[in-house]
């Protein structure tokens, strides 16, 4: 199920705090960084904060620059991004600025929270959405994507919300503004709380001074677990699709890209079809061939392949689904099930799952995976490639 691109944004002290314990909000950023944040706000479809931030900071969460608002409306977008909050209790002040400034607002809550919000009159200024059953961030993100058209979501805290989204593998990007001051109060809110985070290192994608703070942008890298995709799964699969586009063209075989990634987010190997002058090598085969079969990271690794690994092939004895299983890998993420172009009823996913592997299909990437293979696919209503006509 597609989710918005989730960008976590926060300013943090040198000792890792989001705020102090005083009654006023601690200003960690300076004017230049507030302007940068305004620019990011202007670029997104929605801004989310937790109820704790509304209670403590009473934020307005607006795009302050008239020029940026004008650019949004000129592009056919609402003047302000949708404002989103989450509250289990529904214990929110109907007089908070959140409800009375900017454009549309929505609050995701529990059934009991919804009753409380309605009783407080908040349903007059915001859409109140009770979530059925246990709280699930994926339900919130799917609703924002599917029902509200949100494609980019900026999350502006606080610590509880950031911690949950990062720990659940739902953050695509982390933007931290490191402020040159200390808080030093043990009871002050921390940016990230205790719990289970992705193993290994995030990828640093940018550092930049902004006034006297330093902006640091990171991307989580760890694959999801089992059938549950993480934000990093999308990034790795997008890379596999880029590799597919680099394959030498062929009229008798698919162009496919593959990446093997360890559980801690380390890229182990990558490959693509017909790599290195081998006219019949497949992407997964090329990538796995670069690894020591005894590499202890393989059993916990994920193979990303732009096309479902093959179940049968004429050119080599072992198809890619078997190569993956023989390497010990038990998780595969792909964009596209193999069509009948060369092999009728190929079911690499079935071979993998029958052996206990998890296969995750992310159809959002099917367009990119198919792009270098358009000439091999039947044109609707025009023709059909005869199965088995050629296959390498």
Site for ligand NAP, rule CB under 6 A: 10-11, 18-19, 25, 28, 49-53, 56-57, 86-89, 91, 135, 156-161, 164, 189
Q: Choose between 183 and 238: whose C-beta lies nearer to ligand NAP.
A: 183
Q: How far is the CB of 120 from ligand NAP (least distance, A)?
A: 12
In 10 A of CB 62, how many CB atoms? 19
Give the whole-angstrom CA distance, residue 71 versus residue 43: 10
Q: Choose between 29 and 255: whose C-beta lies nearer to ligand NAP.
A: 29
Q: How far is the CB of 158 from ligand NAP (least distance, A)?
A: 2
Q: Choose between 160 and 266: whose C-beta lies nearer to ligand NAP.
A: 160
Q: Choose between 153 and 357: whose C-beta lies nearer to ligand NAP.
A: 153
The neighbouring-strand residues paired with 84 are 48, 106
Q: Which residues contact 191 (CB under 8 A, 6 or more apart)?
A: 10, 12, 16, 17, 18, 159, 162, 176
Question: Per DSSP, which regions of the chain are E strands?
Answer: 5-13, 46-50, 82-87, 105-109, 127-130, 152-155, 173-179, 203-210, 213-219, 257-261, 267-272, 302-305, 331-334, 358-361
Q: How far is the CB of 159 from ligand NAP (least distance, A)?
A: 4
Q: How far is the CB of 112 from ligand NAP (least distance, A)?
A: 10
Q: How far is the CB of 113 from ligand NAP (least distance, A)?
A: 7
Q: Choose between 163 and 305: whose C-beta lies nearer to ligand NAP.
A: 163
Can you give the length of the chain in residues? Answer: 392
Q: Kindly write down the DSSP assignment for every residue of 7-57, as one continuous string.
A: EEEEEEETTSBS--SSSSPP--S-HHHHHHHHHHHHH-SEEEEEHHHHHHH
153 alpha carbon, distance to own chain's centre: 11
Q: How far is the CB of 199 from ligand NAP (least distance, A)?
A: 23
Q: How far is the CB of 188 from ligand NAP (least distance, A)?
A: 7
Q: Which residues contact 161 (CB under 8 A, 6 or more apart)?
A: 48, 49, 50, 53, 86, 155
CA nearest neighbour of 305 among 249, 253, 252, 368: 368
Q: Choose between 168 and 250: whose C-beta lies nearer to ligand NAP.
A: 168
The neighbouring-strand residues paired with 271 are 258
Q: Choose between 158 and 223: whose C-beta lies nearer to ligand NAP.
A: 158
Q: Starting from the edge strand earliest in sequence, which strands make up the sheet with 331-334, in order? A: 267-272, 257-261, 302-305, 331-334, 358-361
Give the whole-angstrom CA distance, residue 127 versus residue 3: 20
Q: Are 16 and 177 in contact (CB under 8 A)?
A: no
CA nearest neighbour of 377 among 339, 337, 334, 335: 339
Q: Choose between 85 and 221: whose C-beta lies nearer to ligand NAP.
A: 85
Q: How far is the CB of 233 from ligand NAP (least distance, A)?
A: 22
Q: How far is the CB of 182 from ligand NAP (least distance, A)?
A: 14
Q: Choose between 112 and 384: whose C-beta lies nearer to ligand NAP.
A: 112
């Amino acid at each position: 199920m597609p989710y918005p691109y989730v960008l976590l944004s926060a300013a943090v002290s040198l000792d890792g705090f989001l705020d102090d314990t005083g009654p006023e909000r601690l200003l960690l950023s300076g004017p230049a960084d507030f302007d940068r944040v305004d620019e990011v706000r202007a670029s997104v479809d929605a801004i989310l904060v937790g109820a704790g931030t509304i209670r403590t900071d009473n934020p307005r969460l607006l795009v302050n620059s008239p020029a940026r608002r004008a650019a949004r409306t000129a592009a056919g977008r609402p003047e302000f991004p949708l404002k989103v909050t989450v509250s289990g209790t529904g214990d929110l002040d109907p007089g908070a600025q959140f409800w009375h400034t900017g454009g549309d607002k929505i609050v995701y809550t529990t059934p009991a929270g919804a009753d409380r919000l309605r009783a407080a009159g908040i349903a007059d200024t915001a859409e109140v959405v009770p979530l059925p059953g246990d709280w699930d961030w994926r339900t919130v993100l799917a609703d924002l994507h599917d029902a509200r058209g949100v494609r980019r979501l900026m999350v502006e805290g606080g610590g509880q919300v950031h911690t949950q989204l990062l720990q659940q593998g739902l953050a695509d990007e982390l933007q931290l503004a490191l402020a040159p001051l200390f808080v030093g109060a043990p009871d002050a809110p921390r940016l990230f709380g205790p719990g289970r985070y992705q193993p290994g290192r995030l990828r640093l994608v940018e550092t930049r001074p902004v006034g006297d703070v330093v902006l640091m942008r990171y991307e989580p890298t760890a694959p999801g677990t089992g059938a549950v995709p993480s934000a990093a799964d999308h990034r790795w699969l997008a890379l596999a699709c880029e590799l597919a586009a680099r394959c030498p063209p062929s009229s008798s075989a698919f162009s496919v890209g593959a990446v093997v990634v360890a559980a801690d987010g380390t890229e182990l190997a990558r490959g693509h079809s017909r790599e290195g002058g081998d006219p019949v090598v497949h992407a997964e085969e090329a990538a796995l061939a670069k690894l020591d079969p005894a590499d202890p990271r393989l059993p916990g690794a994920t193979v990303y392949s732009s096309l479902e690994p093959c179940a049968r092939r004429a050119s080599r004895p072992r198809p890619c689904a078997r190569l993956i299983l023989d390497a010990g890998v038990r998780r595969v993420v792909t964009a596209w099930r193999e069509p009948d172009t060369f092999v009728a009823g190929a079911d690499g996913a079935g071979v993998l799952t029958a052996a206990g592997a998890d296969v995750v299909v992310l159809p959002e990437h099917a367009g990119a995976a198919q792009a270098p293979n358009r000439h091999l696919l039947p044109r609707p209503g025009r023709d059909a490639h005869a199965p088995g006509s050629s296959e390498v």
